[in-house]
Amino acid sequence: MVRRNPQKAERRGETPVASQAVAEPLLRAPKGTRDLLHPASARFRALGDVFARVANGAGYGQVILPMFEHVEVFHRLGEATDVVTKEMFEFDDRGGRRLALRPEQTASAVRAFVENRPMLPWKAWYAGPNFRAENVQKGRYRQFDQVGVEVLGLDDALIDTEVIALAWDFFRTLGLRDMTLLVNSLGDAGDRARYVDALREYFNSRAAELSEQSRETLARNPLRVLDSKRREDASVVAEAPLLADHLSEAAAEHFARVQDGLRAVGVPFTVSPRLVRGLDYYVRTTFEIQSSALDAAQSAIGGGGRYDGLVEQLGGDPTPGIGFALGVERTLLACDAEGAFTLGETGVDVFVVDTTGGLEALTLTHELRRAGVAADRAFENRSMKSQMKAADRSGARFALLVGTDERDAGEVTLRDLRSDTGQLRVARTDVLDAVKKALA
């Protein structure tokens, strides 16, 4: 029997096999995944809410996609795409189908477009987790969330501008300021193919000077060598031919109009002739937004571009497409670094403190909740002191106190927990009105 060393296999980037015994504590979250507890989870969700508002507000409708697909869907992204060939979590289901957890959502969105034939243009947004068997480090996980948009059926350069500006404005809405937008054009498919040939020839002529990793990459995808951040490669990469010199007139015009559009809406950008990005399907416009607040290796908080050939590759009629995907965890790391997008109070509005046995707290919290007021309480008939502590921890603005005094008088005490404005006794029957007035 051939025994594989799982850790070595992992380092080689091989897809992890479920039955492999990896020497890790088994009752911990798997490598590259994280639990998010409150309030981190509230902030995560709030980011998604902001994105939904921004995207809905620009005429995009949500698409909810399966988290796994037939592997074939992802293989159509191109065999030179690392996330497909080296980083997918693949498995067979009980019916013998070969499936993969989605490493990204554009392929699924395009598959869904071909399958469901929505009206053109189709402007869709999505949010949710993706899965890649990556080498884990800060800002690089095996399960990570993205929010993104896809537009299918529009060739107009100004939709490229709209999509880029949408990503930019979303980040600005979160409060991020330390950002750089890089844009490039990869040309049309023909330009791209000619450029790849020119690059291959160039890099081959200087292969001896390249790092071993880049020589390997070169065999698969010369474009990706441009992405190398290794010092040994720097001078060879710096002198590589530029795509700008291989652009067709139509692609160059398209790109110029995208840039004019960005200037018109006041989105600052830098043309970066070596920006190629990891996914193989891009043609013409590509872009990336980097946060200067993060380490260089993980500074990309989002990116995207045009993928005009992808619909055909997935079995549809020729249809142009463009989109972006933004990394939620990395965006939050950038927010942390800039002190942006901090969450306000997340607690309930009212905490009911009942020292008469708990039944008053039961009925009061339910009345309040049914009236739309967020309310909580303590259980197990704790002491007044212990319940007041719980009220403080809950973040509530007000406490409603019911002791035997209040109960016998048919009243409750409303106390402001955030200021010393004292407290007030209100009739039990007027509680809802009093609470609503106090909250307003």
Q: Give the binding site for ligand AMP (CB under 6 A).
A: 104, 132, 134, 139-141, 144, 146, 278-279, 300-303, 325, 327, 329-330
CB of 27 to ligand AMP, least distance (A): 24
The label of the residue with tokens 């993060």 reads 294
Nearest-CA neighbor of 146 among 290, 332, 321?
332
Choice between 329 and 349, CB closer to ligand AMP: 329
Q: Which residues contact 392 (CB under 8 A, 6 or more apart)?
A: 417
Choice between 84 and 236, CB closer to ligand AMP: 84
Strand, helix or coil at 345? coil
CB of 105 to ligand AMP, least distance (A): 8
Choice between 325 and 435, CB closer to ligand AMP: 325
Cα gap 206→209, rounded to integer Å:
6
With contact defined as beta carbons under 8 Å apart, do 68 and 40 qualify? no
CB of 103 to ligand AMP, least distance (A): 8
Nearest-CA neighbor of 42 among 255, 268, 345, 398?
345
Give the C-alpha distances (Å, rounded to integers) separating 159 from 59, 156, 255: 12, 6, 12
Choice between 146 and 259, CB closer to ligand AMP: 146
CB of 325 to ligand AMP, least distance (A): 4
CB of 326 to ligand AMP, least distance (A): 6
Choice between 185 and 286, CB closer to ligand AMP: 286
Choice between 303 and 309, CB closer to ligand AMP: 303
CB of 300 to ligand AMP, least distance (A): 4
Residue nearest to ligand AMP (CB): 327
Choice between 146 and 217, CB closer to ligand AMP: 146
Cα gap 283→194, rounded to integer Å:
13
CB of 145 to ligand AMP, least distance (A): 8
With contact defined as beta carbons under 8 Å apart, do 293 and 307 qualify? no
Rounded to 5 degrees, φ, ψ at 407 are -60, -45
Q: Name all contacts of 246-252 with Cβ < 8 Å and 24+ positions apart.
A: 246/187, 246/191, 246/194, 246/195, 246/198, 247/185, 247/187, 247/191, 248/187, 248/188, 248/190, 248/191, 250/188, 251/185, 251/187, 251/188, 251/191, 251/284, 252/185
Q: Which residues contact 219 (CB under 8 A, 6 or more apart)?
A: none
